[in-house]
Amino acid sequence: MSDRTRLVYWLRIAGAAALFILLVAVVDVASRGSFLEPSNIVRVLRQITYNCILGVGQTFVIITGGIDLSVGSLVALTGVVAALFANSMHLSGFPLIAATLVVAVAVGCIAGWINALPVVKLNLPPFITTLAMLEMAVGAAFILSHGRPVALQSADFQNTGIGSFLGGVTQALHVPSLPVPVIWMLAVIVVASVLLTRTRFGRYVFAIGGNEEAARLAGINVVRVKTTVYVISGACAAIVGFLYMALFSSGSPQTGTGDQLLESIAAVVVGGTSLMGGRGSVIGTFFGALLIGVLYNAMNLLNVDSYLQKVLLGAVILLAVVLDELRKRYLSR
């Protein structure tokens, strides 16, 4: 990096951090200290977990210049399939949990592969192929569940869904503990971040998003890399489907089919990933999800009308991307 780019880079980080701290401070004062209570912070983290995991998978797709609209309904489908599978197995404890997770992730991966196939083979726009998958997956979830939530017969998933990580230890030490789903989110973030920033695959994801033809002429297997990003997105959707199933003790065909898709994409974009491809990060997506989560939480604490909350959220998303665009223009001058 040249000195100027390095300076701008750190200024940007510092600026974002300063804004964030300011927001937190204002909200904390306005809510008379309840915002920064450990239990509230844990609540925010738990609330953003699902959007964040979906966003992480989506980040890979968007960096290649694609989009995955199917993740919301894949949450529903994988949750239903996982619940049906768990109910049909004569297993319990860890083997049951592990097998169910594997099945859910397998379904997500297959769906992602189907998403990618027409994109890489026929050059169809991912907007359309994943839109088709959105419809098919939610339809399949309703067919399999007969339109009703599939209640889990086993109680073994309770800890995965709502338990605390190392609950006994943290209680003994009188420190707040993190919910298990939050641990899942952190694990997904770490693995995805290493994959994206430290491996050949990650480098190729950026190269394809930056210039697909140059990547192809460099001998990169573009078909394989692009297929993999949709599979990763499907797998992330499956993890979310699995976690929701554990949380609600049932797999419902309606879970994840509402605002989830668009809010996860918002997290990615607010986190600085370019919809044009070639630029972005997993950490950015985490902070994007965090910003949206903090905003919701703060508005709740401050008793902002729930309809108005939507308006403000939209305004913040717009503001974030406009600021990012202005920064880019300044840089390219």
Partner 1 sequence: MTPLLEMRGIGKSFPGVRALSDVSLELFAGEVLVLVGENGAGKSTLMRILAGATSADEGEILIDGAPARIAGPQEAQRLGIGMIYQEFTLVPQLDVPSNVSLGVEPTRAGLIDVAAVRARAHRVVDDLGLELPFDVPVSQLSVGQQQLVEIAKALATSARILVMDEPTAALADREIERLFEIIRRLRASGVGIIYISHRMEELPRIADRIAVLRDGKVVATRDARGFSSDEIIAAMVGRRLTAHFPELPPPASDAAVRLDVRGLRREEILAGVSFSVRAGEIVGLAGLIGAGRTEIVRAIAGADAIDGGEVLIDAKLVRSGRIGEAIARGIVLIPEDRKAQGLVLGMTVRENVTLAHLANFVDRDQLVDVARERAATARMIDELQIRTPGTEQLARNLSGGTQQKVVLAKWLLGDARVLLFDEPTRGIDVGAKTEIYKLMVELAGRGAAIVMVSSDLPEVLGMSHRILVVRGGRIAAEFSRADATPDRVIAVATGAAA
Q: Which residues of this protein are in contact with partner 1, per CB under 8 A?
A: 1-2, 5, 194, 198-200, 202-204, 206-207, 210-211, 213-221, 278-279, 332
**308 touches 67 (CB < 8 A):** no
Tell me whether residue 206 or residue 248 sits nearer to partner 1 (CB atom). 206
Tell me whether residue 2 or residue 88 sits nearer to partner 1 (CB atom). 2
**231 touches 109 (CB < 8 A):** yes
Distance CA 123, CA 65 (A): 13
In one-letter notation, the amino acid at residue 257 is T
Tell me whether residue 151 or residue 276 sits nearer to partner 1 (CB atom). 276
Residues 6+ apart with CB under 8 A from 312: 295, 299, 304
The tokens for 221 are: 């297997």
Distance CA 129, CA 163 (A): 37
Distance CA 230, CA 214 (A): 21
First to last CA, the chain: 16
Please name which of 44, 15, 41, 53 lies closest in space to residue 268, comparing C-alpha atoms: 53
Nearest distance in Å: CB 195, partner 1: 10
Partners of residue 251 on adjacent β-strands = 150
Looking up tokens 């918002």, which residue turns up?
266
Please name which of 56, 63, 280, 71 lies closest in space to residue 190, comparing C-alpha atoms: 56
Nearest distance in Å: CB 199, partner 1: 6
Tell me whether residue 12 or residue 216 sits nearer to partner 1 (CB atom). 216
Nearest distance in Å: CB 74, partner 1: 28
Looking up tokens 């399939």, which residue turns up?
81
Tell me whether residue 177 or residue 274 sits nearer to partner 1 (CB atom). 274
Tell me whether residue 65 or residue 79 sits nearer to partner 1 (CB atom). 65
**82 touches 154 (CB < 8 A):** no
Tell me whether residue 63 or residue 269 sits nearer to partner 1 (CB atom). 63
Nearest distance in Å: CB 191, partner 1: 12
Distance CA 206, CA 215 (A): 9
Nearest distance in Å: CB 276, partner 1: 10
179 DSSP 8-state letter: B
Nearest distance in Å: CB 10, partner 1: 14
Tell me whether residue 93 or residue 219 sits nearer to partner 1 (CB atom). 219
Nearest distance in Å: CB 6, partner 1: 8
Nearest distance in Å: CB 185, partner 1: 22
